[in-house]
Structure 1
Amino acid sequence: MKTRSCLPLFLFLFVMSTGLAAQSGSDLLAELASGDVPTATVSAAIVPTYLLDRHPVLRPAERQEGLSLTPEFDYPELAREYGIEGRVTVRCIISAAGTVVQATVVKGIGYGCDAAAVEALLASQWTPAMKDGQLVATSCYVPVDFSLR
């Protein structure tokens, strides 16, 4: 069974609803300059990872002993007290600017580790993904390991 993309239909409806389709390029530029353009809320499209030319990469935090490729976080006190170790998997939406705009725990271990992983990822900086030479927003799954060693 083949699926079809709704993007062409969405773009058509957006252009028609804003009235931009019947205008020439110079008329459109003049209207944009005057600020009288009808507005519509359109979120940036999130490009699936399999279509990317370059995937997002966590920018390493410089430390004295070298580079870290994991987000910086404080080990939760409750998890430390009970000896909890494991991996928290977080789904992140990374903007074209390289910031994490949304982080959702997919698989957690509790004891404060889930919240610590989300907090660390929201504060992290990424090299954004690219598609066709343009920076794009995308989503990815990030494992955050908690180890007491």
Structure 2
Amino acid sequence: MNRRAFFVAVAVMSVLAPWCVVLAHTLPATATVPNWSLAWVGLDCGEALAAGLTALLILRRDPRSALTSTVGGALLLADAWFDVTTSIGGDYVQAVVMAVLLEIPLATLAFWYASSVLLRPEPEFRSDWTRRHESQPNPPALRPLDRTEWSQSRH
């Protein structure tokens, strides 16, 4: 087990959990947002970028597609959450329908794909990039973990 990463994750959770309680009691019920459209366009662009990178990495048979797929799924859930919680009237109904029929199912598929890649036996998902660099004495840092490294990182 990577102790440092474990302690960082616990520290972040320990800070954010109470912070959520503070925000719940101190944030105003409504707010005027000066860059509302920029925020939404940025979120949707992030979703598109994650999907595009996932597709590219799938074409390259690169297991790092699990990372971009996970990011895309998380962004889709954030989009659904903010659509539903910031909408009123007819927009609220549309936001719920979009969340239930589109964003949540797509996020679920993205997470399913990522988990299927992570659980796949390593030799079946070798990327061209990995094959080109595995013979180098000092391969680039951003590379898929081999089976030994993967099992060591999980314990």
- TM-score, normalised to structure 1, is 0.21
Whichever structure has more helix as a proportion of its residues is 2
TM-score (norm 2): 0.20
Which of the two has greater strand per residue? 1
